[in-house]
Amino acid sequence: MKTKNITQSAYVNDREAAKLFFAEYNIPYEEITEGKDKGTLLVKAMDLDDQYQIHYAQKRLERSRLRVVTDHPNAFLDKDDNVIVTFSPYDIDILPPRRPWLEMSDHSIYGNGTKTFVVRISREEITKQRIKELQTKIDTAEQDLLQKKKQYEAAIEKMHELLEEKALLVNSLPDKPTGSSPKSSKDKPVTPQKWTCTWQGHATWDDGTGTVNCSYRAAMTFQSRKKPLRGKEIRNLEINKPGFTDKDVIKALQDSLRAELDAEFEDYCMEDDYYQPVVEDFEAEYIAKAWAEDRNLNLITFEGSGTDEGYEPKHRRR
């Protein structure tokens, strides 16, 4: 460890007692011998990590029911850059019992009838305590994020329910007459004018050390063209289910589209072994439109969004 420079003023009232205290605890110092600051004592400059030890020492005293000792905190670095934390309370003349990490010096650096108490705490203990405090903050932040994520997912779920309800109501309206003559009952296949499909896709990206759970939700409305429907699902109905109805056609088309989106979403999420997928960029609308084009259908509305649960390590350190 690089030794720190002696550049910081020592905040002490009794300079002569402070010199004796510094000698007792191996705290390097320099004294200004001329100019307007003559007599000022300089000690090693402290950084934020050093200052944190004052906070920790105060907390330790408070936990030990010694809050009365915590007046006038101060801290200094000894020759090995260990932090010496001091407190200078009034009206305490004896050392509290059974506190091996707490000492009382014979030299009062604050003066004015105070005693100088010294708290010795190892850097390792300080580091462990900081890690513990940071982990507590991390856990709190994770819980807050999880709660917000649940609220967001609930809002998405509600939005899709409303979109589906709206689509059903739109589709219940009678179509405007086109002026064309009625089709013969022999015309096959049956071609429903409008129908909806909702889809929920799920996939898990895995890089070997952790996973990302991905999901995508979509609500779509399709409209048939004047041309007959086409596609293997229609041919299957014609072969396997003579006399099929509009409901049979819609279900066959919905199953086909969901299978197409499931496969494409799985491939998209697993495409890269090293970089997790950007779920919101999945081109579900483009896939649905191409699927519809192959079947003589028009995609007239599309609402969709993707989310992920964030990277989850397979093994967490404890």
Residues 107 and 230 in one domain: no
Residues 219 and 278 in one domain: yes
For residue 1, is it within any domain?
Answer: no
Residues 254 and 111 in one domain: no
- Is the model's pLDDT at 315 over the cut of 70? no
For residue 132, is it within any domain?
Answer: no
What's the total number of domains in the chain? 2
Residues 93 and 191 in one domain: no
Tell me the CATH number at 297: 3.30.479
Q: What is the pLDDT of residue 95?
A: 66
Residues 81 and 228 in one domain: no
**Per-residue confidence at 192, pLDDT binned at 50, 70, 90?**
low
Residues 113 and 246 in one domain: no
Nearest-angstrom CA–CA distance, 52 and 57: 9
Find the domain containing 64 and state its range.
6-121
The four Cα atoms 124, 128, 131, 137 give a dihedral, to 10 degrees, of -140
For residue 282, is it within any domain?
Answer: yes
Residues 32 and 79 in one domain: yes
**Per-residue confidence at 134, pLDDT binned at 50, 70, 90?**
confident
For residue 143, is it within any domain?
Answer: no
- Is the model's pLDDT at 94 over the cut of 50? yes
Residues 198 and 302 in one domain: yes
- C-beta of residue 122 within 8 angstroms of C-beta of residue 57: no
Residues 166 and 303 in one domain: yes
| Residue 312 phi, psi dihedral angles, 5° rounding | -120, 110
Q: What is the pLDDT of residue 262?
A: 95
Query: What is the tens place of the pLDDT at every residue in 226-268?
Result: 777 777 877 777 777 777 788 888 888 999 999 999 999 999 9
For residue 200, is it within any domain?
Answer: yes
Residue ranges in the chain assigned as alpha helix (H): 15-24, 48-63, 123-172, 232-240, 246-269, 284-293
Residues 221 and 106 in one domain: no
- Least Cα distance to 221 among 196, 198, 200 occurs for 196
Q: How far is CA 75 from CA 31, 45, 190, 265, in A?
A: 18, 10, 87, 59
Strand partners, 263: none
**Per-residue confidence at 164, pLDDT binned at 50, 70, 90?**
low
For residue 289, is it within any domain?
Answer: yes
Nearest-angstrom CA–CA distance, 136 and 129: 11
- Is the model's pLDDT at 19 over the cut of 80? yes
